[in-house]
Structure 1
Amino acid sequence: MKVLVTGGAGFIGSHIVDQLLADGHEVVVLDNLSAGSRANLPTDVKVIEQDVASDLTPVFAKERFDAVIHQAAQVGVPDSIRDPLHDASVNINGLLQVLEACRKYAVKKIVLASSAAVYGTPIELPVSEEHPLIPLSPYGLTKKTGEEYLRIYQALHGLPYTILRYANVYGPRQSLSRESGVITIFTDRLCRGEMPTIFGDGTDTRDYVYVEDVARANLLALSGGDNQIFNVSTGSAVTLNELFFALTDVLNDQREPCYGPPRLGDIRHSTLANGKIRRAFGWKPSVSLAEGLRRTVEWVKSQS
């Protein structure tokens, strides 16, 4: 199968490329390299350096893709609040460019990266796919809107899709220079001898899923789960305090955490149910938090 991975030079996208290649697929990457890097990819992978919000029909006309895995996105919640126009340009207009090209050139399947941000403040935990969608940021809203566009394109044009709502993804290749996930931030600062700040009392919880497990879910979605939505998560709640001490154990660092005031708008607790994807694909998280942190620490150290 010939697969286009938008944002394929980025954090999650590059791991998806690795797994697609290992599974024998032909892969093309489209990435403007604003956040991604060619260094994340094998040298023989074709990279089209182009913005996803531009006209993609010449690319699709030439390459004739069988499927698209759409990872290209503006992913920063604070960035979406500061600049909602840019957020919408990438996350809505970019998706529409992809969908229109898929429609015109008979792509057989699209897999969309969505986010736990579509849910907003959880009413109950763990959050299932049927939970109400009440996003709290422009980022969450554009992800919710993107999901609706896929539903409409399937209904109007018969384009099959699968939507994957990611929990907090972490692992090697997550950017150290841009706004990163908390694990990468904590790891980078601890490795540099600095002390990261835990906002609040450290009892806030998140669901941390390793990037290779997320990539595997994308690979499975190419051949199943048509016109369905799945959480990609561990289903386990980890407090910030637990995360901090798990990292310091890996680093053999005996320092105590530094606390700051809670941040306005932060959700206290978020855990996503993963029973649906387990039943549909037989998928389950295979990398434990301890092992994932060890691999992440090794990667961060290798970047210094």
Structure 2
Amino acid sequence: MRILVTGGAGFIGSHLTDAFLGNGDEVAVLDDLSRGRPERLDPSVVVHKASITDVAALNAVVEQVRPALICHLAAQIDVRVSVESPAEDAAVNVVGTVNVLEAARAAGARVLFASTGGAIYGVDAPVPTPEDVLPGPQAPYGTAKYCAEQYLGLYNRLYGTRHAALRLANVYGPRQDPAGEAGVVGIFCGHAFRGERPTVFGDGHQTRDYVYVGDVAEAFVAAARADRPGVWNIGTGHETSVRELLDLLGRASGRTLDPEFAPARPGELQRSALANDGAARDLGWTPRTTVADGVAAVYRWVADGSPDRAGR
């Protein structure tokens, strides 16, 4: 299969590209390189520097590549930016997605969309949360992702396409910037390696569903092979608290971590986990990596110097 990955030079996108290459697919990448790093990618992958907000450039790349499948990961990913600049967030995450859908329609390509499971469900959602719970996002970022999902469904109804969305839990793994402002596992691993005290916002009992990036890449491959429309949660179905995460990291690093506690951030969910029964049933996908093994893998990657091509 010929595949185009938008945002393919990013953390998740580079792992996804590796997974498709490992299955014998032909893969190209479209990325504006604002956050992406071409060094993360196999040298055989052609990288087209372009933004999904640039319609002419996007259409030119899709016309040149002629993909059968577009895995759409390019996005504005910072929740705080979405709160400060909701129009900017919508321009990328809503209008940019519509641009991708239009380009895919012209090329006769199917779209697999990387949505969010962590930011789309509301504070009153049951845990673990199934896909049929009505979303109640708490920030423009989650609202934009849900709106983009609705456009996928609209195109399926209007044009008979088979576009699908994967609602990702809290993805972590090698190649996620340990010095960045998002991705608590990588950030904590960086602190542990440098002997610094990690900062915990709130009491540390808040939970998230941490899903390993290699498992997420396998979910995209499974959804590509299934060739059917749908919306699926991609998570472990299990809650892990921040305090549990620190304990696991302490075991992986051999160090006792003494966190600093800061006030809880406004609007932060206290509990989150995604039910993955739908993906198991429809895609034959279940996660294989435990949080303990995944955290250990990230710590080894940080200790090895955070190389771009490691952690496959």
- If the TM-score is normalised by the length of the shorter chain, which range does it land in? over 0.9
How does the TM-score come out when normalised to structure 2? 0.94
The letter for the 2-side match of 1:135 is: P
Within 5 A, what are the aligned runs for 1:159-174? 159-174=161-176
Aligned to 1:110: 111
Q: Post-superposition shift, 1:135? A: 0.7
Choose which of 238, 245, 248 in structure 1 pairs with 2:247: 245
Aligned to 1:275: 277
Q: Post-superposition shift, 1:175? A: 2.2
Within 5 A, what are the aligned runs for 1:252-291? 252-291=254-293
Q: Post-superposition shift, 1:53? A: 1.1
Q: Post-superposition shift, 1:251? A: 0.6
| Structure 1: gaps of 5 or more residues | none
The letter for the 1-side match of 2:35 is: A
The answer to whether structure 1 residue 142 and structure 2 residue 144 are counterparts is yes
The letter for the 2-side match of 1:229 is: V
Q: Which moved more, 1:54-63 or 1:212-221?
A: 54-63
Q: Work out whether residues 122 and 270 of structure 1, in 8 Å CA contact, stay in contact via their aligned partners in 2.
A: no
Choose which of 223, 226, 251 in structure 2 pairs with 1:224: 226
The answer to whether structure 1 residue 59 and structure 2 residue 65 are counterparts is no
The letter for the 2-side match of 1:110 is: V
SS in 1 for 2:226: coil
Q: Post-superposition shift, 1:122? A: 3.6
How does the TM-score come out when normalised to structure 1? 0.96
Q: Say what the alpha-carbon RMSD is for the aligned residues.
A: 1.2
Q: Post-superposition shift, 1:104? A: 1.2
| Structure 2: gaps of 5 or more residues | 307-312
Aligned to 1:32: 32
Q: Post-superposition shift, 1:97? A: 1.2
Q: Post-superposition shift, 1:225? A: 5.9
Q: Work out whether residues 9 and 41 of structure 1, in 8 Å CA contact, stay in contact via their aligned partners in 2.
A: yes
The letter for the 2-side match of 1:258 is: E
Q: Work out whether residues 179 and 187 of structure 2, in 8 Å CA contact, stay in contact via their aligned partners in 1.
A: no
Q: Post-superposition shift, 1:258? A: 2.1
> How far apart, CA to CA, are the structure 2 residues paired with 1:177 and 1:238?
22
Deviations 1:90-114 (A, max 9, x none): 111211111111111211x210000
The letter for the 2-side match of 1:25 is: D
Q: Post-superposition shift, 1:189? A: 1.5
Q: Post-superposition shift, 1:196? A: 1.0
Q: Work out whether residues 170 and 184 of structure 1, in 8 Å CA contact, stay in contact via their aligned partners in 2.
A: yes
Aligned to 2:153: 151
Aligned length: 303
Q: Work out whether residues 122 and 269 of structure 1, in 8 Å CA contact, stay in contact via their aligned partners in 2.
A: no
Q: Work out whether residues 172 and 186 of structure 2, in 8 Å CA contact, stay in contact via their aligned partners in 1.
A: yes
Q: Work out whether residues 8 and 30 of structure 1, in 8 Å CA contact, stay in contact via their aligned partners in 2.
A: yes
SS in 2 for 1:223: helix
> How far apart, CA to CA, are the structure 2 residues paired with 1:255 and 1:271?
25
Q: Post-superposition shift, 1:177? A: 4.4
**1:238/1:102 Cα in 2 relative to 1: closer, same or farther (>3 Å)?**
same
> How far apart, CA to CA, are the structure 1 residues paired with 2:257 and 2:135?
40
Q: Post-superposition shift, 1:123? A: 2.5
> How far apart, CA to CA, are the structure 1 residues paired with 2:128 and 2:138?
18
The letter for the 2-side match of 1:90 is: V
Q: Work out whether residues 7 and 30 of structure 2, in 8 Å CA contact, stay in contact via their aligned partners in 1.
A: yes
The letter for the 1-side match of 2:303 is: K
> How far apart, CA to CA, are the structure 2 residues paired with 1:122 and 1:15?
33
The letter for the 2-side match of 1:30 is: L
Q: Work out whether residues 179 and 190 of structure 2, in 8 Å CA contact, stay in contact via their aligned partners in 1.
A: no
The letter for the 1-side match of 2:4 is: L
Deviations 1:260-296 (A, max 9, x none): 2211111000011011111112211111111111110
> How far apart, CA to CA, are the structure 1 residues paired with 2:142 and 2:107?
29
Within 5 A, what are the aligned runs for 1:66-215? 66-107=68-109, 109-116=110-117, 117-215=119-217
